[in-house]
Amino acid sequence: QKEVEQDPGPLSVPEGAIVSLNCTYSNSAFQYFMWYRQYSRKGPELLMYTYSSGNKEDGRFTAQVDKSSKYISLFIRDSQPSDSATYLCAMTPQGGSEKLVFGKGTKLTVNP
Amino acid sequence: DTGVSQNPRHKITKRGQNVTFRCDPISEHNRLYWYRQTLGQGPEFLTYFQNEAQLEKSRLLSDRFSAERPKGSFSTLEIQRTEQGDSAMYLCASSLEGRAFFGQGTRLTVV
């Protein structure tokens, strides 16, 4: 079993839909959680960073962490064609140091 | 542009040749990481530096791979005697206060 599991999709939604992306993890030492967006042939771009259970909102994006279930989610409201990308979850045992462990990424397409 | 800069963006090399990639981190960031990403996979950690000290290396980093960060500024990743299995995107990231920011990567193709 990999430390971080993420459904690779692909996921296709109409413009304006609410998108839900999820990751599960097995290592209870993970305390810091991130979501990255990666456009084709580009480097990952940090979208959300959180370290506590609960929700964190930033514009159309909401990151949710449930440490008891070892489950994290990213919600995208009012999705736009420009949101079409691969979304990677990442986590680490401690903030400010150590390696990030990534999921495989979920490829999202938002259709106009 | 004050982001993480990687050069070259693309590199095609013949099997057995040596290649070197460069990463210039965000100037105030003291931690620098190298990752490798293959098609359909998330990035995998290779190694990281705090200032000029290399603090951890992954098992993925065979003895053909070497990384340096002289004077705690830019970093280089060298692959000796390249193999077809080395074909991947090599990503550099720098971090401050736990947030890692990635460069655009160097795409290596070994033919």
Least confident of A13-17, A97-101, B60-64: A97-101
pLDDT-based confidence at A96, cuts 50/70/90?
A: low
pLDDT-based confidence at A105, cuts 50/70/90?
A: very high
pLDDT-based confidence at A52, cuts 50/70/90?
A: confident
Model confidence pLDDT, tens digit, residues B21-68? 999 999 988 899 999 999 999 999 999 999 899 998 998 888 999 999
DSSP result, chain A: --SEEE----EEEETT--EEEEEEE--TT--EEEEEEE-TTS--EEEEEE-SSEEEEETTEEEEEETTTTEEEEEESS--GGG-EEEEEEEESSTTSS--EE---EEEEEE-
Taking contacts as CB-CB distances below 8 angstroms, the residues of chain A near B102 are 36, 43-46
Question: Does residue A98 register a pLDDT over 70?
Answer: no
The Cα–Cα gap between B24 and A36 comes to 20
pLDDT-based confidence at B98, cuts 50/70/90?
A: confident
- Which residue numbers of B have CB closer than 8 Å to A's CBs? 4, 6, 31, 33, 35, 40-45, 48, 50, 56, 58, 91, 95, 97-105, 107
Å between B35 CA and nearest CA of chain A: 9
Taking contacts as CB-CB distances below 8 angstroms, the residues of chain B near A95 are 97-98
Test B98 with A43 for CB contact under 8 angstroms. Answer: no
Å between B86 CA and nearest CA of chain A: 17
Question: Does residue A94 register a pLDDT over 80?
Answer: no
